[in-house]
Structure 1
Amino acid sequence: MAPRGAPPSPPPPDAGRDLLSPEQRLDWLRLIRAENVGPRTFRVLINQFGGAAAALQALPGLARRGGRLMPPKVPSRAEAQAEMEGLARLGARLVALGEGDYPATLRALDDAPPLLAVRGRGEILRLPKVAIVGARNASGAGRSFAARLARDLGAAGWVVVSGLARGIDAAAHEASLDAGTVGVFAGGLARPYPPENLDLIETIAERGALVSEMPLAWEPRARDFPRRNRLVSGLALGVVVVEAAERSGSLITARLAGEQGREVFAVPGSPLDPRAGGTNRLLKQGATLVTEAADVVGVLAPMLGRQATDQDLAAPAPAAPPPAPDDDVRARILELLSPVPMPVDEIIRLSGAGAAEVQIVLLELELAGRLERPGTGRVALR
């Protein structure tokens, strides 16, 4: 029996509004596709320079001061326009952070994609979501349970999110087509994966939504799947792991969910089945045990009134770009950095430099390919 739950209220009439002009959208696309610019760097650049156009102009100088001889590669306006036209031919579009169809749960992440490629029914992204993930080589019982869970959650008004993989993912997507499902790509929308799920992917495009943060024709690589997993968990209020071995991508999704402040649920399994090793360990670590959809709804339903509160990246621009720090400030900051990740707040405290000065130096190093941001608020030398 499906758990009770009132369907969510319809979105307001302006929920799909655009916040960016066509020119601004092109600039955002060029900036996020620029070499060494990821979601966190994009956010810092926008905050420092007030807009994508100003940030694009600043990139060569920043990278040069960071020690790079050649400027970072930036797509031309024609290349960005070609990607947008390719998306349109596929029936997809780019949704910017802060716009109505951009999921509020995803927006709250510090590494939220500034632009999300969306194919299908964008309004589904505004509804409350639960992720269901698990083993690719799932047992028949595991697939059956994932399907039942997805159907019951859909009946209670929840959209199911998963990663389009074979096994548990596919079972959850198929069972939630009527109520709504969201599939997250590891590559670009023009590179669906795995091939055996092409029919399912096309059906989701018609009845649900497909999303990706990657360039349209990007071929997924092994390291792109953990990046995809953070979107699966970030889109949802909670993640249910149905079957997972001790070392599996589903456990990565569960770990990311915990880091993002999401609820983690796990379905218990036989200790004799290796596919239950990961889920049983999650339960030992404090994940909520799930035997029916009501276990999930009971935990997540009270969260529906909470709203994302982070500031739009489309906020008004400052009057002028910040000045470059002098050599003494830059030297003090560089001396503190190492391959060991360090909180940015600690760099500010120990260096005695201003927060804006530290951010500029970190940007210079990152755009030069010398710095990485391994986690929330931390940086390390490469």
Structure 2
Amino acid sequence: MDDAIARLRLIRTPSIGPVSYRQLVRRFGSAAAAIDALPDLARAGGGVPPVVPPPAHAEREQAMLARVGARHLFLDDADYPPLLARADNAPVILTLRGDIALATRTPVAMVGARNASAAACRFARQMAQALAERGATVVSGLARGIDTAAHHGALPATIAVIAGGIDTLYPPENDELQERIAHEGLLIAEMPPGTQARARHFPHRNRIIAALSLGTVVVEAAPRSGSLITARLAGEAGREVMAVPGHPSDPRAQGCNALIRDGATLVQDADDVWEQVRPIDARALHSGAVRSPAAGWGAPPPEDATDAERRTIERLLGPVPVAVDELVRQSALAPAVVQMILLELELAARLERHAGGRVSLC
């Protein structure tokens, strides 16, 4: 219990995300030891130490989850979804309601436009139902339009990943559907309970949808939409990207048509989707490869840095995001040293992390 409280306090600390959390635990061995080291690290980065929530805050969060029938799921828990655990930015802590076993039943994401056409919603509902009948679990984001249709079609074999806290409802018209999924399927949230969904939360939700699934199907999407972000994240994670073609004159079909033009698989029914995800070895979905926050990310633990090394990295950083690998190349410093300097800057609220392993100064 004490370790769970310490881990909750660390991940709920401002400026600490999944990457910095894992680096801290690897460097200091436990969440409690990492909390003790935060002041010195932040001062080394030239900033004010972040305020760590007191134990009472973590205990209150646990009580809030208990009241709504939810629980925490840590990255090193045995039932953490294996596909999601492979992502470099996998959430350290999830909150969930429902059957976590659904995450290992050939999960397939289905996303699309909120203002989807009636025909597209009907198509998504029928495809989701057909995939569920074949043994798949349909993953989506509980948004209006395609997401809602996919959840309805696949119930109870569906997972809803929401942008707010596990105890919040968004959008309001899906309150009954959200409760039904929590009881019959699986409801997942990364944000702390009580968090209302904001625009900045949706990209985080989209990365979970993409990483949780063997493939992502886009049914309808405008050229600039969150659905295309989910598809891009799926492609970057090495997962299948599939799209349903639409009429060229419909703006809601332009995103899907562009995905197909750029190499996504054209799918027209559930058989097409099943053909793309079925060859994957089913044992990979049930493997017990528990990923510890303290080990297994390929690089050695961060090392202490000198003032000269800190100045070198700060000179290379700017407001434009740059890949961490490029910083290592140009600085000629050890990767572990570079990671430690970036960690110090992040804890000092001077560094922002971006998708694709890129960083920039705030």
TM (norm. structure 2) is 0.93
Matched, 1:245 2:245: no
**Cα distance in 2, alignment partners of residues 303 and 323 from structure 1:** 38
SS in 2 for 1:240: strand
Matched, 1:31 2:6: no
One-letter amino acid matched to 2:117: S
Q: Could you say which residue in structure 1 is the equivalent of 2:335? A: 355
Structure 2 residue corresponding to 1:330, chosen from 295, 302, 310: 310
Quote how far apart the aligned CAs of 1:306 are. Answer: 6.4
Residue pairs, 1:220-235, within 5 angstroms: 220-235=197-212
Residues 161 and 236 in structure 1, CA contact (< 8 A), matched pair in contact too: yes
Structure 2 residue corresponding to 1:106, chosen from 74, 77, 84: 84
Residues 105 and 235 in structure 1, CA contact (< 8 A), matched pair in contact too: yes
One-letter amino acid matched to 2:29: G
Distance 1:272 1:52, change over 3 A: same
- Structure 1: state its 5+ residue gaps: 1-21
Residues 77 and 290 in structure 2, CA contact (< 8 A), matched pair in contact too: no
Residues 110 and 376 in structure 1, CA contact (< 8 A), matched pair in contact too: no
Matched, 1:377 2:357: yes
Structure 1 residue corresponding to 2:28, chosen from 49, 58, 61: 49
Residues 49 and 322 in structure 1, CA contact (< 8 A), matched pair in contact too: no
Q: Could you say which residue in structure 1 is the equivalent of 2:274? A: 297
Residues 343 and 377 in structure 1, CA contact (< 8 A), matched pair in contact too: yes
Q: Structure 1, residues 337-356: CA drift from partner, whole Å, max 9, x if none? A: 22233332333343343333
Deviates more, 1:121-130 or 1:205-214: 121-130
**Cα distance in 2, alignment partners of residues 129 and 231 from structure 1:** 12
**Cα distance in 1, alignment partners of residues 89 and 97 from structure 2:** 21
Q: Could you say which residue in structure 1 is the equivalent of 2:171? A: 194
Deviates more, 1:357-366 or 1:150-159: 357-366
Q: Could you say which residue in structure 1 is the equivalent of 2:63? A: 85
Deviates more, 1:140-149 or 1:42-51: 42-51
Q: Could you say which residue in structure 2 is the equivalent of 1:138? A: 116
SS in 2 for 1:132: strand
Q: Percent sequence identity over matched residues?
A: 52
Residue pairs, 1:245-324, within 5 angstroms: 245-305=222-282, 307=284, 311-313=291-293, 315=295, 324=304
Distance 1:322 1:239, change over 3 A: closer
Residues 246 and 278 in structure 1, CA contact (< 8 A), matched pair in contact too: yes
SS in 2 for 1:282: helix
SS in 2 for 1:86: helix
Aligned length: 355
One-letter amino acid matched to 2:231: A
Residues 23 and 302 in structure 2, CA contact (< 8 A), matched pair in contact too: no
One-letter amino acid matched to 2:171: P
**Cα distance in 1, alignment partners of residues 153 and 309 from structure 2:** 58
Structure 1 residue corresponding to 2:158, chosen from 171, 177, 181: 181
SS in 2 for 1:99: coil
**Cα distance in 2, alignment partners of residues 92 and 41 from structure 1:** 26
- Structure 2: state its 5+ residue gaps: none
**Cα distance in 1, alignment partners of residues 307 and 67 from structure 2:** 50
Distance 1:76 1:167, change over 3 A: same
Quote how far apart the aligned CAs of 1:219 are. Answer: 1.0
**Cα distance in 2, alignment partners of residues 57 and 114 from structure 1:** 19
Q: Structure 1, residues 92-148: CA drift from partner, whole Å, max 9, x if none? A: 001111322211111111110001101111222232200111111111111111011
**Cα distance in 2, alignment partners of residues 108 and 322 from structure 1:** 20
One-letter amino acid matched to 1:197: N
